[in-house]
Amino acid sequence: MQSASSLDMQARAGKRSWTTLLGWAVAAGVLGWAWQGAEMAPGLLVSNAGNMATLAADFVPPTFGSLDHYIDQMLVTIQIAIWGTLLAVLFAIPFGLLSSDNLAPWWINQPVRRLMDACRAINELVFAMLFVVAVGLGPFAGTMALFVHTTGVLAKLFSEAVEATDAGPMEGVRVTGAGRLEEIIFGLIPQVLPLWISVSLYRFESNIRSATVLGMVGGGGIGVSLWETMRGFQYTETATIMLVIIVAVTLLDMASQRVRKRFI
């Protein structure tokens, strides 16, 4: 009996090491396959170092003649991010609740989830191009693009928070005779609010970064100048714009993190 079972265990251990080996082989295969597809060629970085140095030299010194204009454009970019994020938060709350399986039945939560998947799967830039056609060039198109994409992202994160909550407090509210909405407002929202605020602020930070390129496709903001100076080979201007972006993004990230910490 005993020797049989130890044999069995050995066999199982052998099987496990064999599957582990197969797992590593598959992982290595995927990495090699992706390396080829991405045409990875680190050698070029060395052999073409001269080209890069020449290009980099074109960026210095940054020219500050149009700095005021770029700062104005950066402010527009921030304004796009503010409204894009706010609208997304407002819409992500109902969509997030409806895609949570502890609140909505499958025939509601599945379609809503798929809709949110679609919003999330398509990049802001693609949405911006679509909205430019619909509402014309300018910041409004960019705002709408951020709004739609971010709604998809936040609805998923919001609903994950909802699904991780404790059902007890909601039952506690239900048995007082309160309605379903009161149950959500008093029993559920207080549980998820800190996390919701935190992920919303994080998305605001990342939307500022995204908004800096929306202008490239006509979505308004500093991306317009960024694209124009690059296409016009005015690299010293491009350098100034990049500096403005770096400073603004850093400052806002720091401010938002400070607010975020208060809620965690």
Partner 1 sequence: MTAIISVERLDKSFGNHAALREVGFEIASGEMVTLIGPSGSGKSTLLRHLIGLTRADRQSHGHVRVLDRDVQRQGRLVGARREQRRRAGYIFQQFNLVGRLSVLTNVLIGHLGAMPRWRALTGRFTQHERDLALRALERVGIVGLAHQRANTLSGGQMQRVAIARALVQEAEVIFADEPIASLDPRSAREVMEILQRINREDGRTIVVTLHQVDVARRYCRRAIALKQGRLYYDGPIEGLTDSRLQALYENAGLDELESRQPDHRMAAPLHAVG
Segment lying near partner 1 (by CB under 8 A), choices 86-94, 115-123, 147-155, 183-191: 183-191
Token look-up 């006509």 returns: 218
Residue 264 lies near partner 1 (rule: CB under 8 A): no
Q: Which CB, 38 or 264, lies closer to partner 1?
A: 264
Q: How many CB atoms lie within 10 A of CB 19?
A: 10
Options 64, 168, 247, 250; binder of partner 1; rule CB under 8 A: 168
Residue 232 lies near partner 1 (rule: CB under 8 A): no
Residue 94 lies near partner 1 (rule: CB under 8 A): no
Q: Which residues contact 119 (CB under 8 A, 6 or more apart)?
A: 148, 149, 151, 152, 153, 155
Tell the smallest beta-carbon distance from residue 235 to partner 1 (Å). 52
Residue 190 lies near partner 1 (rule: CB under 8 A): yes
Please list every residue from 192 through 221 that binds partner 1, using CB under 8 A: 193
* Crossing angle between the packed helical segments 235-263 and 49-59, to the nearest 10 degrees: 80
Q: Which residues contact 170 (CB under 8 A, 6 or more apart)?
A: 183, 184, 187, 188
Tell the smallest beta-carbon distance from residue 216 to partner 1 (Å). 43
Q: Which of 226, 206, 255 is nearest to 84 (CA)?
A: 206
Options 79, 102, 191, 236; binder of partner 1; rule CB under 8 A: 191
Q: Which of 124, 112, 117, 129 is nearest to 85 (CA)?
A: 124
Q: Which CB, 193 or 247, lies closer to partner 1?
A: 193
End-to-end CA distance of the chain: 56
Q: Which residues contact 200 (CB under 8 A, 6 or more apart)?
A: 85, 89, 154
Segment lying near partner 1 (by CB under 8 A), choices 67-75, 97-105, 177-185, 251-259: 177-185
Count of residues interacting with partner 1 (CB under 8 A) = 19
Q: Which of 74, 94, 224, 219 is nearest to 151 (CA)?
A: 94
CB 125 within 8 A of CB 213: yes
Please list every residue from 100 through 159 that binds partner 1, using CB under 8 A: none
Q: Which CB, 188 or 248, lies closer to partner 1?
A: 188
Residue 179 lies near partner 1 (rule: CB under 8 A): yes
Residue 185 lies near partner 1 (rule: CB under 8 A): yes
Tell the smallest beta-carbon distance from residue 193 to partner 1 (Å). 8
Binding site for partner 1 (CB under 8 A): 168-169, 171-179, 181-182, 185-187, 190-191, 193
